[in-house]
Amino acid sequence: MGGLLELTGRYDRKRARVSPLQVRAAQVPGAWWVLAALLGLLTLVAVRPAAAGPPSAYAKEYSITVDATALNPPTWWQVPGKTPAIMTLDPDSTDALRTTAPSELKLKPGSYRFGTFTFDFPFTVTLEGVLDYTPSLDQCVSGRGTQKLTITCSRTQPYGGQRDY
């Protein structure tokens, strides 16, 4: 129908092969369209969104204490994306955390990475809000199953087994 009208510039009912129902629908006054639009808007306003349920287990933040005070000499540390970065142009003016005092972080369940200039490792905050990390780090890290991560090594120590992280 549209193609015939565009080619000839006029509408010919016999050549267009339009059903009577299509012709009748085209003759509906504009007021009906306005009424249909208003009813649609009223339906949208009347439908209320579902009430929010309890927060997701992954949205809850837990207080995790990071204690790297055993590191000697003192240095800076970071948990990327959660603390200031240690790789800046001037380490003396950085806001990065120091190993001279324990610090508390608010962390959601998920995977993170602790790092100094010479030692870094992955760790996880579980859905229960406790720490987990690979057993191969037990010689340098403690706190599995708790909310306190204690780091005692300044450098990666020799490990005779397979890397599991």
CATH class of residue range 62-151 = mainly beta
Strand 76-77 and strand 62-67: pairing? unpaired
Q: Which residue has the higher pLDDT, 26 or 118?
A: 118
Tell me how crowded residue 70 is: count the other CB atoms within 10 A of its CB: 12
Rounded to a whole number of angstroms, the distance between the first and last alpha carbons of the chain is 67
Where do the structural domains in the chain lie, given as residue ranges?
Answer: 2-46, 62-151
Is the CB of residue 80 less than 8 Å from the CB of residue 162? Answer: no
pLDDT for 58 equals 87
What would the pLDDT profile of 45-85 be if each residue is shown by its tens digit? Answer: 555 555 566 678 889 999 999 999 999 999 999 999 999 98
pTM (global) more than 0.75? no
